[in-house]
Each structure stands twice: as structure tokens, then as C-alpha cells.
């Protein structure tokens, strides 16, 4: 079954870019300078941000449904305007790179109907299995270790 993995749009974060560290702290946001090639996965580009670039660490509500599964968690976004990533039938670099990914399938009302955990290198079969469930409307991917929201997955 064909699928598409999409990153977040950058527009909701634009007001944060360029703010002072003090102003960001007042909003519960932390600016970090990337100091390792893996470990700062941008939720817009779905790539690990390059060393030397700045990212913002913030809390993001990725599951706003009024159900017991409503959820928010920490994410990184690269500062500046970046194109929202779109990958068809493949795992984006930030999901495939040395990470285990937790997949959570949701129905149209925002209730979990299935889940799986897989190494990032083996995501397509796990995604296809969850999309084959008749009640699956979409899937959320999370880093299995820290639990951070990673991306949304839909049928292509």
C-alpha cells in the first residue's frame, strides 16, 4: 500500500525565528546549536539538522483530537523558512537514521486502532501493515526512545 510521510509546515513557527534566547525562554522554547550529525531531527524537513545550524526545541501539540489520546511533546524545528518534507513510499532520513520508531495508527476521531515499533530502516512494512487496518485514518510516528513526535503518515 502506498504511503506519504509529511513534515510540519514552517509557518506556525515563523514567529519564533530570530527571537532572543530570553524571549524564547519566556515561551518555553530553547534554541540549540547543532553539535552532532545525528540527534537534532527537524520536524519540518524530516532530516537531522546540520552541525552548526540552530534549531528550536519546543512543545508541540501533534494530536489535538478531544480523546484520551490527545498529545503534545517536544520537537526540534530548524530556524528559517524551510519547505515541508514529503516522502512517498520511503522513510525520511530523520526516521531511518539509527532510530527505533513507534508507529501509532489513529481512526478519524483520533483514537488509536493499532501500533507497532520498528527500526527506522524497516519502516515501510510496518507502515503498510497499519494502513491496511480498516479503521486507520492516519499514523503518527514517534522516536521510540524519547517519545518525541516525528511525522504524520497517510495513504498516498
Q: How far apart are CA 115 and CA 105, in angstroms?
A: 6
8 Å CB contact between 122 and 99:
no
Give the rounded distance of the alpha carbon of 139 from its chain centre.
11
With bands split at pLDDT 50, 70 and 90, how would you rate the model's confidence at 151? very high
Q: What value does the mean pLDDT take over residues 22-39?
A: 96
Cβ-based neighbour number of residue 10 at 10 Å: 20
At 134 the three-state DSSP class reads coil
Q: Position of cell 540527534?
A: 39
Q: So what's the pLDDT on residue 96?
A: 87
As a whole number, the mean pLDDT across the chain is 95
Closest by CA position to 104, among listed 93, 91, 94, 113: 113
User: At a CB cut-off of 8 Å and minimum separation 6, what does 45 contact?
Assistant: 7, 78, 82, 83, 84, 85, 94
The mean per-residue pLDDT over the stretch 91-110 comes to 92
What average pLDDT score do residues 50-78 get? 95
pLDDT of residue 1: 82
Contact 117, 102 (CB under 8 A): yes
pLDDT at 85 (0 to 100): 96
Res 97 pLDDT > 80 = no
Name the percent of the chain lying above pLDDT 90. 89
pLDDT in tens, 103-145: 999 999 999 999 999 999 899 999 999 999 999 999 999 999 8
Query: In this model, does residue 54 exceed pLDDT 90?
Result: yes
Fill in the DSSP letter of residue 27: T
Q: How confident is the model at residue 2 (pLDDT cuts 50, 70, 90)?
A: very high
Taking residues 39-46, report their average pLDDT.
Answer: 95
Given a contact cutoff of 8 angstroms between Cβ atoms, the answer to whether 99 and 144 are in contact is: yes
> Average pLDDT in the 72-88 region?
94
Sorted by where each begins, the domain ranges of the chain are 3-155
Residues β-bridged to residue 59: 74
Query: What nine digits make up the cell of 19?
Result: 527571537
Amino acid at each position: 500500500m502506498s504511503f506519504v510521510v509529511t513534515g510540519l509546515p514552517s509557518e506556525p513557527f515563523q514567529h519564533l525565528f530570530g527571537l532572543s534566547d530570553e524571549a524564547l525562554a519566556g515561551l518555553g522554547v530553547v534554541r540549540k546549536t547543532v553539535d552532532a550529525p545525528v540527534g537534532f531531527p527537524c520536524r519540518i524537513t524530516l532530516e537531522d539538522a546540520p552541525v552548526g545550524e540552530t534549531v528550536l526545541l519546543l512543545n508541540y501539540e501533534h494530536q489535538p483530537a478531544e480523546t484520551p489520546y490527545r498529545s503534545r511533546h517536544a520537537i526540534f524545528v530548524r530556524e528559517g523558512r524551510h519547505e515541508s518534507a514529503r516522502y512517498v513510499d520511503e522513510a525520511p532520513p530523520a526516521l531511518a537514521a539509527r532510530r527505533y520508531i513507534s508507529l501509532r495508527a489513529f481512526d478519524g476521531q483520533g483514537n488509536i486502532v493499532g501500533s507497532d515499533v520498528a527500526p527506522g530502516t524497516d519502516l515501510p512494512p510496518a507502515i503498510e501493515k497499519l494502513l491496511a487496518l480498516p479503521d486507520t485514518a492516519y499514523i503518527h510516528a514517534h522516536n521510540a526512545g524519547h517519545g518525541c513526535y516525528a511525522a504524520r503518515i497517510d495513504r498516498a
